[in-house]
Amino acid sequence: MSEERDWATHREAKANKLSAMSSTIDGKFAKTSDAKAILEGLIAPGDKVVLEGDNQKQATFLSKTLASVDPAKVHDLHMIMSSISRPEHLDIFEDGIASKMDFSFAGPQSTRVSQMIADGTLKVGDIHTYLELYARLYIDLIPNVVLVAADKVDRDGNLYTGYNTEETPVIVESAAFHDGIVIVQANEVVDKLPRVDIPADWVDVIIPADEPYQLEPLFTRDPQNITELQILMAMMAIRGIYEKHNVQSVNHGVGFNTAAIELLLPTYGEQLGLKGKIVPNWEVNPTPTLIPAIESGWVQSIHSFGGEVGMEKYIAARPDVFFVGKDGTMRSNRAFGQMAGQYALDMFVGSTLQIDQYGNSSTVTNGRLSGFGGAPNMGSNPTGRRHSTPAWQSLRPDNDPLGKGQKLVVQMVETFGSNKRPVFVDSLDAVEVRKEAKLQNVPIMIYSEDTTHIVTEEGIAYLYKTSSMAERQAAIEAIAGVTPVGLRSDPAVVKDLRARGIVAFPEDLGVNRNQATRSLLAAQNMEDLVKWSKGLYNPPAKFRSWS
Amino acid sequence: MEKMHFNYAATQPIERPVHIGVVASGDLEVIMKPTDKKESELNIVTGSDGFKEVWQNVLNRFFDRYPLLADFEINDFGATPGVVNLRLTQAMEALKDEQ
Amino acid sequence: MNSLWIFPGQGGQNAGMLQNVDKTLRGHVEDLLGLKLLDTDSAYQDSVQLQVGIELLQVAQVNAMQAAGLKPHLVAGHSLGVFAAAYAIGSLAQDDLFRVVKRRAELMQGAYPQGYGMGVVVGLSRAEVEALVAQVNRPEHPVYASNQNAEDQTALSGELAAIDQVVTLAKANGAVLARRLKVPVPSHSPLMAKVGTQLAAAMADVTLQKPAGIYLTNYSGRAVRQVAPVREDLSNNLAHPVYFEAMMGVAHDYEPDSIVNFSPGRPFRKVLGQKFGDLHQVNLDQMSVSDAAFLLTKWERGTY
């Protein structure tokens, strides 16, 4: 007679681990000074560990503590992280605590990540978009331990994550319901939470942190730095894309190009008579440059992936627009935001560092492996979409009886980057980086087939209208300036493309280049934004130059 | 400091002078004046040496699209090709606006 | 405080640069090494006077900064500057520094008496420069791509005639600028390997401590926290390019909140602007240590 299989091995292992640490854990609470012992006791060699590592929020106390554990006790960890953001996220590899990493974004550590992969100190499972990584937490990257951060915690162990909830719920759920161990660093322990974001039942250990978790204002752009070229491109985008396709819902990738669009809605958009006609619904972080448009009545709703430092009071005072709890503070959710960005938006507008002759774009350049983050998700056409909106439908090909619409994916770039090197290139640096970083595929951010429009200072290429790759390339060449790609442009071909509406120069759109001045911006500096917000917006120190 | 000189065949004479752009880092001034000559003549002064080929490319592209017949004086302070294109096309537009 | 301290090498020196250096320290160094520092233009033609002089200036500034309660989180030396960098981060002891630097200068002085030196190419990528170098480099006429001070700024090291050939090719291939540099030694190339070996031997009895922060290596452009790569950098950086652009790139990942540029000169303005934008910087070539200390403390408190 064969032995009965034990079907509860994970549960038993977890119970054993927690009971072995019972002298250091009171209810769910451990002392700050016991943090190292807790991690050494609850994390086993070879464990899959999620460390928060969000785009904005960093569980700094836990990451520093993890970097201090004894590699003899805790080693060969398989790390799963949305964002490699802090030096100690990589120190743990040099020091023999971790050996493998699956991640999405590495922007803040892109140089060191590249170097460590080249040196063999960092072994990468793969690079993902945010949504892909969250999805794998439920399939084949199910974590043994998750290390997350919360704002406030009550005596029962319920968590309040507030504005910067980001991906904490999706991470915690994957561990809580598969016998993973959930360890939380908390800024504060209080008697009563503003509201419960994550229930105590999902949480195993809470450690009060020695300092508040790190939070960066990543989505704030000072209007002072917006250039006339960006203003011209923004005017073309509003006229030639937002208006033309009747866009109702949008995500703006972070950057100065999109900040310029936001600040031109109340002025240029108003001149065009577009208020109330376009973009009432947004999936975007609460960026301050949206304040004038919100105050002027352009915006009905904004759902956000995360918060933005300094915007708290403004958001709390505008609950009709933002997603605000009964308690009056915002809740964000990156997983749902990415899902919405994928399926529920008419358009994505972003920028990039390089575009090749075919229209593929990448932010990965030699020596800097920045990963993907959310952009490929937002900047791709979801073939699983079925519902129709006017903008999506307007891209439906004429000649296909079984055809359907397409998401607008817009890349906005100047032909030359700030380093004076061409953005349009024959071959992406990413092709070389694939070899250097030993990746399976070239790390392309947005593929040509998903890119429907490219906007440069020369004009707009309506790529979705092209009927062959050769025509697509010609359209790109027409607006690629004097880059190696643009220099191949044939004036006769450009004339034809313009006549057929595949390429538009400013004059074809009725956009006046001499109107592209900074005075067209609804706000020209941070002080203007504060005024628009009626004093509710509180810029972080690094953006304050006048007080 | 570099001085460059270019000539371009052109077909659209301008009727009045125009001055666009600013004397500022990363920017340039374009001054266009009507001419009796059969070709456009350009005199460029720049603080960024070694970019003659880039200027040639920018100007080829501009004159392909907008063959304005004029005398051009350009004072450049390290503008990128995109900014050069902006100022030249703004000058072109300013002329159209009043014609 | 998360500050990046940068120590230049040769190039920015000038007569009289030692006049404000602490007299006790200067006297101690002169006694220790058995020489008198003349601090004149003609003296700075001599390798020992120049290298010891520059390092004395930098060490004096480090001491003054430390006396004001300041320390670095990251240090980056360029060529000769690695010694003061190692000192500032707590790896190299003061007297050891001066003995080793004197020896380094003596070894370099004799290495290549004539016909060798360095050049620079601006406006091409390193890969493009390396392709041109490969066309010219031969055992009898060696030339190498050496220091990388910015993305589009690559130095050349080798025989002067070979350097001139690469310079000509570079200009014909779109370089914005290409010319010889006023450096009489093919530094930071394999041609200096023997000097590196000799210097490593001279350093055999020098103890190094673990850096109290991050040390950025010339030879690999990496951020390191261990002694072994620091030792390699100090003894052997002459045989390898200074990967300064990579050093600044990885330093950026540590998000320093200020940069302190030590004397002499201001050679890194462009690459620092490219990598760090308008991050707070002080320049000890133009500002007293006490003024610098005041600013750095003010910035750390988050007041402007």
Which of the residues B53, B59, B90 would you substitute to probe the A interface, choosing the one with the greatest number of A C-beta atoms within 10 Å? B90
Distance CA B23, CA A50 (A): 53
Residues C18 and C167 occupy one common structural domain? no
Residues 6+ apart with CB under 8 A from A418: none
Task: Name which of A54-58, A241-245, B71-75, C135-139 the model is least confident about.
Answer: A54-58
Mean model confidence pLDDT for chain C: 94
- The amino acid at residue C196 is G
Residues 6+ apart with CB under 8 A from C195: C104, C107, C108, C111, C238, C239
pLDDT at A114: 94
Q: Residue B48: list chain C partners with CB under 8 A.
A: 176
Residue-range definition of the domain harbouring residue C155: 116-181
| A165 three-state secondary structure | coil
Residue in A482, A505, A514 closest to B54 by CB: A482
- The amino acid at residue A10 is H
pLDDT at B98: 60
SS3 track for chain C: CCEEEEECCCCCCCCCCCCCCCHHHHHHHHHHHCCCCCCCCCHHHCHHHHHHHHHHHHHHHHHHHHHCCCCCCEEEECHHHHHHHHHHCCCCCHHHHHHHHHHHHHHHHHHCCCCEEEEEEECCCHHHHHHHHHHHCECCECEEEEEEEECCEEEEEEEHHHHHHHHHHHHHCCCCEEEEECCCCCCCCHHHHHHHHHHHHHCCCCCCCCCCCEEECCCCCCEECCHHHHHHHHHHHHHCCCCHHHHHHHHHHCCCCEEEECCCCCCCHHHHHHHHCCCCEEECCCCCHHHHHHHHHHHHHCCC
Which of the residues C167, C171, C176, C179 would you substitute to probe the B interface, choosing the one with the greatest number of B C-beta atoms within 10 Å? C176
Contact C175 B50 (CB under 8 A): yes
Among the three residues C181, C206, C223, which one is the final residue of a domain in this structure? C181
Within 100-129 of A, beta carbons closer than 8 Å to C belong to: 108-112, 115, 119
Distance CA A133, CA A85 (A): 16
Q: Residue B58: list chain A partners with CB under 8 A.
A: 481-482
- Classify burial at A165, counting beta carbons within 10 Å of its beta carbon; exposed 0-12, middle 13-18, buried 19 or more: buried
Find the mean pLDDT for residues A114-138: 96
Q: Residue A489: list chain B partners with CB under 8 A.
A: 61
Q: How far is CA A361 from CA A102, A133, A234, A354, C108, in A?
A: 22, 21, 20, 6, 48
| A351 three-state secondary structure | coil
Tokens of C66: 């430390």
C171: closest chain B residue by CA: B50
Q: Residue C255: list chain A partners with CB under 8 A.
A: 108
| Whether this model's pTM surpasses 0.90 | yes
Number of residues that this document lists for chain A: 547
Residues C22 and C121 occupy one common structural domain? no
**What residue has token string 């609460």?**
A286
Residues C87 and C214 occupy one common structural domain? yes
Contact C254 A87 (CB under 8 A): yes
Q: Residue A514: list chain B partners with CB under 8 A.
A: 20, 90, 93-94, 97
Nearest to A81 by CA among A62, A14, A68: A62
Residues C81 and C166 occupy one common structural domain? no
Distance CA A411, CA A253 (A): 10
Contact B49 C174 (CB under 8 A): no
Omega before residue C264 within 30° of 0, cis: yes
The yes-or-no verdict on residue A3 having pLDDT over 60 is yes
The band of A234, judged by pLDDT with boundaries at 50, 70 and 90, is: very high
Share of chain C above pLDDT 70, in %: 98
Nearest to A408 by CA among A187, A186, A252, A185: A252
How many CB atoms are located within 10 Å of the residue A297 CB? 11
Residues C201 and C87 occupy one common structural domain? yes
Condensed to tens digits (0 to 9), the pLDDT of residues C52-84 reads: 999 999 999 999 999 999 999 999 999 999 999
Contact B49 C176 (CB under 8 A): yes
Residue in A416, A506, A507 closest to B80 by CB: A416
Among the three residues C163, C181, C199, which one is the final residue of a domain in this structure? C181
Residues C84 and C230 occupy one common structural domain? yes
The yes-or-no verdict on residue B4 having pLDDT over 70 is yes
Distance CA A180, CA A203 (A): 10
Find the mean pLDDT for residues A458-471: 98
* Minimal C-alpha gap between A509 and chain B (Å): 14
C170: closest chain B residue by CA: B50
Distance CA C58, CA C79 (A): 13
Tell me whether A419 touches chain C (CB under 8 Å): yes
pLDDT at A542: 82
Q: Residue B97: list chain A partners with CB under 8 A.
A: 512, 514
Nearest to A115 by CA among A406, A436, A536: A436
Residues C43 and C22 occupy one common structural domain? yes
Beta strands B2-9 and B12-13: pairing type?
unpaired
Among the three residues C146, C181, C216, which one is the final residue of a domain in this structure? C181
Residues C200 and C263 occupy one common structural domain? yes
DSSP states along A484-524: TTGGG--HHHHHHHHHTTSEE-HHHHT--GGG-SGGGSS--
First and final C-alpha spacing in chain C = 16
- Classify burial at B91, counting beta carbons within 10 Å of its beta carbon; exposed 0-12, middle 13-18, buried 19 or more: buried
Tell me whether C254 touches chain A (CB under 8 Å): yes
Condensed to tens digits (0 to 9), the pLDDT of residues A489-544 reads: 999 999 999 999 999 999 999 999 999 999 999 999 999 999 999 999 999 988 88
Residue in A87, A368, A541 closest to C302 by CB: A541
Tell me whether C175 touches chain B (CB under 8 Å): yes
Chains that touch C (3 or more CB pairs under 8 A): A, B
- For the CA atoms of chain A, what is the radius of gyration? 25
Residues C44 and C31 occupy one common structural domain? yes
pLDDT at C304: 43
Contact A115 C250 (CB under 8 A): yes
DSSP states along A385-403: -----HHHHTTS-TT-TT-
pLDDT at A217: 86
Find the mean pLDDT for residues A357-364: 96
Do the beta carbons of residue C83 and residue C77 sit within 8 Å? yes
Task: Give, as one character, the DSSP assignment of residue A242.
Answer: I
Helix axis angle for A469-478 and A491-499, nearest 10°, is: 100
C170 phi/psi in degrees, rounded to 5: -60, -45
A544: closest chain C residue by CA: C304
Which of the residues C152, C243, C250, C298 would you substitute to probe the A interface, choosing the one with the greatest number of A C-beta atoms within 10 Å? C250
Task: Name which of A12-26, A35-49, A207-221, A353-367 the model is least confident about.
Answer: A207-221
Q: Residue C177: list chain B partners with CB under 8 A.
A: 49-50
Which of the residues B30, B59, B80, B97 would you substitute to probe the A interface, choosing the one with the greatest number of A C-beta atoms within 10 Å? B80
pLDDT at B96: 84
The band of C176, judged by pLDDT with boundaries at 50, 70 and 90, is: confident
Find the mean pLDDT for residues A157-172: 97
Contact A491 B57 (CB under 8 A): no
User: What is the domain-level CATH number for residue C174?
Assistant: 3.30.70.250
Tell me whether B10 touches chain A (CB under 8 Å): no
**Element housing A412 (H / E):** strand A408-412
Tell me whether A225 touches chain C (CB under 8 Å): no
Q: Residue A487: list chain B partners with CB under 8 A.
A: 57
Chains that touch A (3 or more CB pairs under 8 A): B, C
The yes-or-no verdict on residue C156 having pLDDT over 70 is yes
**What residue has token string 């070239």?**
A442
* Minimal C-alpha gap between C43 and chain A (Å): 40
pLDDT at A55: 87
- Classify burial at A23, counting beta carbons within 10 Å of its beta carbon; exposed 0-12, middle 13-18, buried 19 or more: exposed
Q: Which domains does chain A have, with CATH numbers?
A: 27-215 (3.40.1080.10), 223-393+404-526 (3.40.1080.10)
Omega before residue A53 within 30° of 0, cis: yes
* Minimal C-alpha gap between A273 and chain C (Å): 39
* Minimal C-alpha gap between C97 and chain A (Å): 28
* Minimal C-alpha gap between A79 and chain C (Å): 19
First and final C-alpha spacing in chain B = 36
Condensed to tens digits (0 to 9), the pLDDT of residues B39-69 reads: 999 999 998 888 899 999 999 999 999 999 9
Distance CA C188, CA C191 (A): 8
Which of the residues A97, A110, A111 would you substitute to probe the C interface, choosing the one with the greatest number of C C-beta atoms within 10 Å? A111
pLDDT at A547: 43
Angle at A201 between CA A196 and CA A202, to 5 degrees: 85
Q: Residue C152: list chain A partners with CB under 8 A.
A: 419, 421
Contact A419 C246 (CB under 8 A): no
Residues C101 and C17 occupy one common structural domain? yes
Find the mean pLDDT for residues C217-246: 97
Tell me whether C123 touches chain B (CB under 8 Å): yes
| A223 three-state secondary structure | helix
Distance CA C240, CA C242 (A): 6
Condensed to tens digits (0 to 9), the pLDDT of residues A32-78 reads: 999 999 999 999 999 999 999 988 899 999 999 999 999 999 999 99
Mean model confidence pLDDT for chain A: 96
Contact C176 B53 (CB under 8 A): no
Residues 6+ apart with CB under 8 A from A448: A356, A358, A359, A360, A463, A472
A417: closest chain C residue by CA: C274
Do the beta carbons of residue A165 and residue A331 sit within 8 Å? yes
Residues C149 and C257 occupy one common structural domain? no
Distance CA C27, CA A422 (A): 54
Within 36-95 of B, beta carbons closer than 8 Å to A belong to: 54, 57-58, 61, 64-65, 80-83, 85-86, 89-90, 93-94
pLDDT at C298: 85
Residues C262 and C166 occupy one common structural domain? no
Distance CA A232, CA A255 (A): 15
Tell me whether C151 touches chain A (CB under 8 Å): yes
Tell which phi-psi region holds residue B5, choosing left (phi > 0), alpha (psi between -120 and 50) or beta.
beta
pLDDT at A23: 95
Strand partners, B75: B29, B45
| A320 three-state secondary structure | coil
Distance CA A516, CA B90 (A): 10
The count of domains in chain C is 2
Distance CA A114, CA A137 (A): 25
Contact C222 A119 (CB under 8 A): yes
Find the mean pLDDT for residues B10-34: 94
